[in-house]
Structures are given as structure tokens and as C-alpha cells.
Amino acid sequence: MTSALPIPTTLDAVPAAVEAALEVFFGRAVPVAADVDPQVGEAGEVVRDFVLQGGKRVRPVFAYAGWLAGLSSSGRELPATGPDSPGAQDALRVAASLELVQACALIHDDIIDRSDTRRGRPTVHRVFERRHIDDGWAGDAAHHGAAAAILLGDLALAWADDMVHGHHPGDATVPGETAPRPLPASVGRVWSSMRTEVLGGQYLDIVNEAGGDESVDAAYRVMRFKTAAYTVARPLELGATLASAPASLIGDLRSIGHDLGVAFQLRDDLLGVFGDPDRTGKPSGDDLVAGKRTALLAVGLARAGERDPALAERLRAAVGRPLTEDEVRTARSILTDVGAVDEIETQISGLLTSALATLGAADMSEPVRTELGAFAHRIAHRTT
Amino acid sequence: MTSALPIPTTLDAVPAAVEAALEVFFGRAVPVAADVDPQVGEAGEVVRDFVLQGGKRVRPVFAYAGWLAGLSSSGRELPATGPDSPGAQDALRVAASLELVQACALIHDDIIDRSDTRRGRPTVHRVFERRHIDDGWAGDAAHHGAAAAILLGDLALAWADDMVHGHHPGDATVPGETAPRPLPASVGRVWSSMRTEVLGGQYLDIVNEAGGDESVDAAYRVMRFKTAAYTVARPLELGATLASAPASLIGDLRSIGHDLGVAFQLRDDLLGVFGDPDRTGKPSGDDLVAGKRTALLAVGLARAGERDPALAERLRAAVGRPLTEDEVRTARSILTDVGAVDEIETQISGLLTSALATLGAADMSEPVRTELGAFAHRIAHRTT
């Protein structure tokens, strides 16, 4: 069930509109959780706050851009963007629901990676671990924190599916609400593929990490599914499919999505080692400490190994354990000196150029082409 | 996208039909997982095998029963049950998708409860822990096992939502398949409420356990949402709503569902302490070892405490730690001697009687009324 929400007319307006849509969803869902028990309502508020208190809304922006691009293709009219436009309401809702998938991915990833902080705040499992300690509860506080975070991530994933289909928990219908328009099967297929791919990419990531596969190939394979498809390509396709875009445009958006998605992750890799903790909300050198098998690390190890096996060994020794500031600096120097940083920057530039070339020739109209191009630049060169 | 599947005409035929529907779904979904990487395909097979190798298909049977009851209400005709009946295909698909929700619930619950076995086999997180050890991988094997099981549970939950809506991952359409009929908003609301309730009930369970709430009230509150609504009441309602059943019947099915669902869980509590390991697939006294806050234990502690605080203390000492066979026997004796077992059996009988009385007066026709009554007896008196 949906109530009319303000419709964004530019990509810059998407994050605020998405947050408003999520507020409405949580306004329905959290009270149903509270009906189970007030403590469950509080847990629902933790999910709500996690989603609303941070994030760049990258996936919703791409989904909405895909929808605008689809509508603008093949000489179509631009959409009616009034609050009574059902197509726009659907697009906004589908875009916003991606933030709930992402909430599950982050909450569960933080358990898996044993991360203490996220967006400058304690991670969800640490919040519940801390509550367990503060309340003097019985049993293993860390295990309790992980258990609570598993269930809250599940709740976010279930809610993502509710929201994308225009449903929400609770028996009551709200006066003035219209029944949701069912998601077309073509859109359902994209949604379905996206979730299988991101979970598959995450699984492959932990298997590669445990198996010690530090190859460049393995890092790119994980990146392709865990990030590129999930963060850019599938969201663009989701929106465009909802707009019944022609196959040629969907093909172009997939290509743009792959290029930008890999560029997004490569920038993430650089920020994970070289980023400013005050801006990223993560500790200095966090990816090294966490032992993430990034492309940056894979390229760095390969290049260091070619130059001097001892150098590769020094870099490898700075992965997957707590590091002093000095050790972080040393690892950064190796990555820079062997040319890994330059190589990743060159790749990002090349991918951005390729994405912009495909965008320039794609079957869509202004202003979405220019706006998407500007967003692509920001994604590839972001500092947070 | 759905292909026509054999349609069950009796409740006894539902489990096999549900398994056939799940086979078809996995036949589409697992290859998409394998496209990410062959290792992800193998993980998808673990989910498939977990779902297909065991389980009583209780939730699908209730969902299908609700659908048949709905169709048989208010003098309606019995459904066309040929393989070309789209309503029957929808009912089967919705019923089968409950097994994927259940797979997520069990896989994640087993991490949370630190269970080693499920249905006589190693739990999913233990399978991946073992593989990690056998392959001599780096890092913490138990943590890796939990991480893999978190992601596989997520995959099962995502697939549940795909299946209920008639979607599946993958870009290809299959020749001869028809587009799925969208789930009505009324059904979506039930599906949505059910998932929020079961996750809320599970969350409440771990909070009560950590907080040491051993009250009878707390145990019944968890039971109401974690089991009764999720296992019986909501599945019945899901099917009946899909059949556009009248509100009076849905009200009756909710009442039947609550009674049978609580009876189901109370039987589970008895089997968890007194069950035959060869039949239940769980070790002797498993619920005691696991420290589950069951109604049986809550009643036992309350009654023992009334008789003699030292007796309650002896029972409490047998909860949440490894036990010898002698210690299990002692705990069983206390539960029996204080009358907790009799009280739970009496409650089961009373709940079954109440459910059957509501069933007898409910607006549905034969044969579903008799079949549902027979299934209710089996649920309340099962030994596995």
C-alpha cells in the first residue's frame, strides 16, 4: 500500500525523497514489530535508524536514473512528475527498497568482517554486545550481539522485499491508500538476480579469503558481483526495466553499470587504505587490518612479488591483523612505490571514460544523460 | 515464471507436490548462483539439499489447506485441480516458498543456538567449519562456518521472496512458461506480517534467554509469534486469503492456527526433552543442553519452585550446558514429578479440542474439513 510521496525531478533530489519513502515504510513496519513485544519494536527502531542515519543512497540514485533514462529513451515523453504519478511512485519505492537490501548486507558483512565501526558509529552487533554487557546478562555477550544482528539483518532483507512489492507488515489498511501496482515479472527477474549475485559475491569473497586466493582474477570476480552488478548495473537495469526501456538501452546501462561499478569499488579499495578516517568513518588502513582481498592489494602483491619476493612478504605481513600507524604507513608506501596505486587510478579513469562514452551514445535524453554523467564523476572520484 | 506442476488433491499429497515445485525453482536458481562462480553454485546446492532432504512440510500443508478451505467456503465450487489451473499453481508455489523461509530460519537459528546437528545431519555452519578445517584454510574455522551459514540463510530468504512472487534469478525466459500472476496485496500483507512476526519472535527469544526471563508468560509470548503465527495461523491465512476467503473464515482459521500452533510448539518442547533421538534427529535432552526457554521448562521451574526452591535450582542447573545421560534423566524426572509434563499434555489436549471445535463450525466443506482435522491430530501427537 502506498501513499503519494514527493517525486524527485533531479538525481540530486533522490536521496531526500528516498529517505521520505523509507520513513513512511518504517512508520508502518516498526509498530508491527512493537506489537510482538516492545523490545522487538526497539529492535525495529535500530534497523530504521541504521538505514536513515547514513549512507550515500548510491543504489537508489542509480535505480531512479535508470528509470528516468528508460522513460526518456526512443523519443518518449519525460514522465509526469506530479505526486499523483503512479509510475514515479513505483520507481521511488523500488529505488528506496534497495537501501533495505543494503542494510542487511552491511549488518551481516560487519558480523562476518568483525568490524567495530560503520559510518563512525558502533556496528549493530557491537551495539547489542555492549547492551548485553551493560545489562549484566548471562552468556557470551559477543555471541548475543552477533545473534541479534543476524536477526535484524534478516528483518531488513524481509522488509526490502515487502517494500519493493509495495507491501508492509500489519493487517490494517490505511484510508486513502491505493493498492500497490504489482511489479512486472521483468522487474522481478532483475531484483531476484541482483540479490542472488550480491550474496554469491559475498560468499565468494569469504571463500577466497579463507582459501588464501590473493590473485588479481579472484579480486575482480568478487568485485564484479559483490559490487559492480549490485551497486550500479542491476539498479540501473531495475529502473530502466520498470520504465519498459528498449533492450538496446538496457544493454548500454549494463555496460555503463559494470564500468562504473568496478570504478566505484576500486575507489573504495583506495579509500580503505588511504582514506581519511574523519571522512570515511572507518579507522586508518581499515581494509588492511580487516584482511580484505581487494584488487588494490592483489595488484600490489603481484607487483611487489615481481620486484622482490621479500617486499611482497612485507606487504602480506600487514594484512589481517591490528596495525600501528607506522605499519599502515609502510604498507601504503609499498603499494604506492610498486605502482599499484597508479595502476588502480589509471583503471578508474579508463572505466569512467568508457562509461561516459557509452552514456554519450545511449538512447536517452537530457537532462538525465548529463545528470548521470555528473553522478558518475562523483562516484569515481569521491573521498568518502 | 512458472511451469505447470502436478496439483495435489489431498493434504497428504502436498509434501511431494511442494518438493516438486521446489525442485523446479532450484533448477532455475542454482545455475544462476553457479554463474557467479562454481563455488557459489555448490553453496546453492547446499541450500537446495538442506530444503529437499528433510522436513515435515508442515507450513506448506497448512497454507494449502487454507487455500482449499477458502475455496470450499460459502458454497463455492471446489477448485479445478487440473495441471492447467492457475489458482492451484499459485497456491502450490506460495505454499512451497514457506519452506525457503523456514530454511533461513533454521540455518540462522542453528548458528544462534550453536547447534551441531539438524535432522540427524551436521548443521550448515558446522559443514562449512568442517570444510575449512579439512582444506587447511587460514583463520578461524568456526567463524568461517558461521559467516557462510549467514550468507546461505540470506540466500534462502531472498529465494523465498522470489518464489512466492513467481520470480527467479536469471535473465532468460523459458519457452512455454507463462508470466506469474501477481500476488494480491491482501496476500502480500499476510506474507509480510508473517516474516516480521517470526523474526520478532526469534529476537524476543534470544533477548529473554540472555536476560534470564524464565517466566511462563515470556515463553508463551515467544511461542505465539515464533511458532504459532508463523507455523500454522499465518500459513492458513495465506492460503485462505489467496482463495479470497470470507473474513469470517479467516478469523476462524486464525483461531484454529493459534491453538494448533501453540499445541505444535508444546509437543516440540516435550520432544526436545523426552524425544527419541533416533526419531527426532536431535541428541537426547537437546533443548535442556541448548538452554531453550520453553514453556515446559518455565512451567517446570515454576512448579518446582512452589514445592521446594532447591528442586527448582537442581532443574535450573541442568539447563544450558552439556549433560550426561544421568543428568538428563534427573531433569526429566523433576519435570515429570512436579506435574509439568502432565500440565503440558493437558494443554495440548485442550488446544486440540478447541481447534477442532472451531474447525467443526467453520465455513468450509468436505473433504478439507476432515483432512485438516486429521492433520491437526497428527501435529499435536507427533513423535518426530
Task: Give dist(CA A261, CA A62) in Å, integer.
Answer: 11
User: So what's the pLDDT on residue A81?
Assistant: 57
Percent helix, strand and coil across chain A, each to the nearest 5:
70, 0, 25
Contacts of B204 in chain A (CB under 8 A): 36-37, 39-40
Cβ neighbors of B288 (< 8 A, separation 6 or more) are B272, B273, B297, B318, B319, B320, B323, B328, B331
> Hey, which residues 139-168 in chain B have their CB within 8 Å of chain A?
139, 143-144, 146-148, 150-155, 157-159, 161-162, 165-168
> A323, A289 in Cβ contact below 8 A?
yes
- Average pLDDT, whole number, for chain B? 92
CB contact under 8 A, B33 and A200: yes
Task: Give dist(CA B163, CA A33) in Å, integer.
Answer: 24
Cβ neighbors of A198 (< 8 A, separation 6 or more) are A101, A105, A225, A226, A229, A230
Domain residue ranges in chain B? 1-183, 200-379
**pLDDT tier at A295, thresholds 50, 70, 90:** very high
The secondary element (H helix, E strand) that includes residue B100 is helix B86-112
**A217/B contact by beta carbon, under 8 A:** no
| Pairing outcome for strands B121-122 and B117-118 | antiparallel
> Hey, which residues 362-381 in chain B have their CB within 8 Å of chain A?
none
**Least Cα separation, residue B12 to chain A (angstroms):** 30
> Hey, which residues 219-258 in chain B have their CB within 8 Å of chain A?
221, 225
Contacts of A137 in chain B (CB under 8 A): 210-212
- B311-342 pLDDT, tens digit per residue, is 999 999 999 889 999 999 999 999 999 999 99
Q: How far apart, in Å, are the Cα atoms of B258 and each of A198, B94, B208, B262, B370?
A: 37, 20, 21, 6, 19
How many contacts (CB atoms, under 8 Å) link A and B? Answer: 215
Q: What is the mean pLDDT of residues A344-357?
A: 97
Contacts of A150 in chain B (CB under 8 A): 108, 111-112, 150, 153
**A110/B contact by beta carbon, under 8 A:** no
CB contact under 8 A, A210 and B185: no
**Least Cα separation, residue B196 to chain A (angstroms):** 7
- Average pLDDT, whole number, for chain A? 92
User: So what's the pLDDT on residue A79?
Assistant: 56
Task: Give dist(CA B105, CA A311) in Å, integer.
Answer: 47
Q: How far apart, in Å, are the Cα atoms of A302 and each of A39, A124, A271, A299, A345?
A: 50, 36, 20, 5, 17
The secondary element (H helix, E strand) that includes residue B122 is strand B121-122
- A120-159 pLDDT, tens digit per residue, is 899 999 999 999 999 999 889 999 999 999 999 999 999 9
Q: Residue B112's closest chain A neighbor by CA? A: A147
**B183/A contact by beta carbon, under 8 A:** yes
User: So what's the pLDDT on residue B1?
Assistant: 43
* Identity of residue A131: R
Task: Give dist(CA A58, CA A65) in Å, integer.
Answer: 11
Contacts of A202 in chain B (CB under 8 A): 151
Can you name the CATH fold of B200-379? Answer: Farnesyl Diphosphate Synthase (1.10.600)
Kindly tell me the number of DSSP H helices and DSSP E strands found in chain B: 17, 2
Q: Residue B184's closest chain A neighbor by CA? A: A182
Q: Residue B104's closest chain A neighbor by CA? A: A154
User: So what's the pLDDT on residue A228?
Assistant: 94
Torsion (CA) A157, A162, A166, A171 in degrees, nearest 10: -150
> Hey, which residues 321-360 in chain B have their CB within 8 Å of chain A?
none
CB contact under 8 A, B167 and A138: no
**A126/B contact by beta carbon, under 8 A:** no
CB contact under 8 A, B225 and A36: yes
**Least Cα separation, residue B210 to chain A (angstroms):** 5
CB contact under 8 A, B165 and A153: no
> A272, A188 in Cβ contact below 8 A?
no
**Least Cα separation, residue B242 to chain A (angstroms):** 15
> With 50 as the cut, is the pLDDT of residue A70 above it?
yes
- A164-187 pLDDT, tens digit per residue, is 999 989 876 666 677 788 899 999
Task: Give dist(CA A345, CA A25) in Å, integer.
Answer: 40
Of A212-226, A329-343, B92-106, give the lowest mean pLDDT range.
A212-226
| C-alpha closest to that of A19 among A62, A63, A49 | A49
**Least Cα separation, residue A21 to chain B (angstroms):** 18
Q: Report the CATH number of the A1-183 domain.
A: 1.10.600.10
> A236, A251 in Cβ contact below 8 A?
no
Best of B98, B167, B213, B316 to disrupt the A interface by mutation (most A CBs within 10 Å)?
Answer: B167
Out of B39, B171, B179, name the one closest to residue A204 (CB).
B39
**Least Cα separation, residue A19 to chain B (angstroms):** 21
Output b/e per residue, A138-156; b: 16+ Cβ within 10 A.
Answer: eeebebbbbbbbbbbbbbb
CB contact under 8 A, B150 and A111: yes
> With 60 as the cut, is the pLDDT of residue A102 above it?
yes
Which residue numbers in chain B have pLDDT < 50? 1-2
| C-alpha closest to that of B68 among B3, B2, B17 | B17
**B216/A contact by beta carbon, under 8 A:** no
User: So what's the pLDDT on residue A6?
Assistant: 77
CB contact under 8 A, A195 and B158: yes
The secondary element (H helix, E strand) that includes residue B118 is strand B117-118
Of A240-254, A273-287, B39-53, give the lowest mean pLDDT range.
A273-287
The secondary element (H helix, E strand) that includes residue B121 is strand B121-122
CB contact under 8 A, B188 and A180: yes
**pLDDT tier at A344, thresholds 50, 70, 90:** very high
Q: What single string gives the DSSP state of each residue in A99-133?
A: HHHHHHHHHHHHHHTT-SEETTEE-HHHHHHHHHH
User: So what's the pLDDT on residue A50?
Assistant: 96
> B323, B288 in Cβ contact below 8 A?
yes
Best of B47, B112, B154 to disrupt the A interface by mutation (most A CBs within 10 Å)?
Answer: B154
**pLDDT tier at A375, thresholds 50, 70, 90:** very high
> With 90 as the cut, is the pLDDT of residue A236 above it?
yes
User: So what's the pLDDT on residue A119?
Assistant: 83
**Least Cα separation, residue B187 to chain A (angstroms):** 9
Q: CATH homologous superfamily of domain A185-384?
A: Farnesyl Diphosphate Synthase (1.10.600.10)
**pLDDT tier at A267, thresholds 50, 70, 90:** very high
What backbone phi and psi angles, to 5 degrees, belong to A117? -130, 155
